[in-house]
Chains A and B, each alone.
Chain A
Amino acid sequence: MEHGILMSGADVDFMIHGVFQYSFFGHQVWITTSHVCILIVMLILVGFAIAANRAMKKGSDVPGPFQNVVELIVEKLDGMVDGSMEKAAPRYYNYIGTVFIFILFSNISGLLGLRPPTADYGVTLPLALITFAMIRFSKWKYQKPATIWEDLCSPLPKWLPIWMPINLISTVAVPISLSLRLFANVLSGTAMMALLYGLLQWFATAWPAALHVYFDLFSGAIQTYVFCMLTMTYISNEIGDGTRR
């Protein structure tokens, strides 16, 4: 940083760095620290999943400690989906559970010294876009085109679609706000911890642990919960009473 707003804190660094560059159909593409961190997170989760799978294959009626933990996680996640989606819940256990565990572990990975992958807009936007695609898909699957048109012109009668552009904008705003919320929360935590460590140097010993608990654990868990709850709320809004047209 050669321009010096933070001349005193040249060590303040929470940006994404390129690890190596390669050429992809003529474009210069970078493998960044986000890729490396997301790979580490994925490897840990895949390792956990394989261990859980093996534990459940030879699971017994009297569960061992590891089987107990796995069952607890699955039950809690399924219970969360059940609580807000009711009848449609079983079809969304997989997606919500996967997204929940992935985002939660990504947010918490700041504790392991990684740069949280969710502090990269390239990670949160795809997550929100998947959610958006699921919302649109369930709308077309469960509602008649006439109803969809009526919803688009919603406050005004359906032969007067003046209000339609506004409704379209609010539809498009869903993935943007969903992804920016997660991104900005995690990024703000990362930025504040980087400022703390960069500017205070030797003074920042031991007590930033309390801030880590807030920024990484508490805020990360809350944002994970919010992302999943909003996904479920949006989808179950579109499903309605769950009868297929």
Chain B
Amino acid sequence: MEFNDSFILGCSAIGAGLAVIAGIGPGVGQGIAAGHAAAAVGRNPGASGQIRSMMLLGQAVAETTGLYGLLVAILLLFVHPLLP
């Protein structure tokens, strides 16, 4: 079957849009991490420095899956891997 380039590019754009839905997961995860960090600081304000660094570390690790989605989207939009 033959597809022309515009069709492939349009489908790539739809795929890129679908790929960044992966951002939902990290959003929820980072929110949970920040909420628990706030609760922890409320319980023990003295440890706020350590809690902050631990929260940032956890959030950055949780972000990874979302970044994979973003990477797929960027590749689809700018590198055009599907074009013949």
**Chain A interface (Cβ within 8 Å of chain B)?**
3-6, 14-15, 177, 180-181, 183-185, 187-188, 191, 222-223, 225-226, 229-230
Say yes or no: B56 contacts A3, CB within 8 Å. no
Q: How far does the alpha carbon of A187 sit from the alpha carbon of B68 in the complex, in Å? A: 12
Cβ of B33 < 8 Å from any Cβ of A? no
Main secondary structure of the interface of A (DSSP, over half): helix
Partner of B56, one of A184, A185, A225: A225
Q: Give the B interface residue count (CB, 8 A).
A: 20
Q: In the complex, how many angstroms separate the beta carbon of B38 from the nearest chain A beta carbon?
A: 18
Partner of B80, one of A3, A14, A223: A3
Could you pull out 21 A-B pairs where Cβ atoms are within 8 angstroms? Answer: A3-B80, A3-B83, A5-B9, A5-B12, A14-B78, A177-B64, A180-B64, A180-B68, A180-B71, A181-B60, A181-B61, A181-B63, A184-B67, A184-B71, A185-B63, A191-B74, A191-B78, A225-B53, A225-B57, A229-B53, A230-B61
Which chain A positions have C-beta within 8 A of B13? 5
Main secondary structure of the interface of B (DSSP, over half): helix
A223 touching B60 in the complex, CB below 8 Å, given contacts A3-B9, A5-B77, A15-B78: yes
Total contacts A-B at CB 8 Å: 50
**Can you name the residue of chain A whose Cβ is closest to the Cβ of B6?**
A3
Which chain A positions have C-beta within 8 A of B12? 5
Which chain B positions have C-beta within 8 A of A181? 60-61, 63-64, 67
Which chain A positions have C-beta within 8 A of B74? 187-188, 191
Task: Determine which residue in A3, A5, A185, A191 has the highest number of CB atoms from chain B within 10 A of its CB, and name it.
Answer: A5
**Can you name the residue of chain B whose Cβ is closest to the Cβ of A177?**
B64
Which chain A positions have C-beta within 8 A of B53? 225, 229
List 4 additional contacts besides A185-B67, A222-B60, A229-B53; criterion CB under 8 Å.
A188-B67, A188-B74, A225-B56, A226-B56
Q: In the complex, how many angstroms separate the beta carbon of B56 from the nearest chain A beta carbon?
A: 6
Q: Which of B5-34 contact A (CB under 8 A)?
A: 5, 9, 12-13
Task: Determine which residue in A3, A177, A180, A184 has the highest number of CB atoms from chain B within 10 A of its CB, and name it.
Answer: A184
Task: Determine which residue in B5, B56, B63, B67 has the highest number of CB atoms from chain A within 10 A of its CB, and name it.
Answer: B67
Which chain B positions have C-beta within 8 A of A3? 5, 9, 80, 83
Which chain A positions have C-beta within 8 A of B41? none
Partner of A184, one of B57, B68, B78: B68
Q: In the complex, how many angstroms separate the beta carbon of A192 from the nearest chain B beta carbon?
A: 10
Q: How far does the alpha carbon of A231 sit from the alpha carbon of B71 in the complex, in Å? A: 23
A229 touching B57 in the complex, CB below 8 Å, given contacts A5-B77, A180-B68: yes
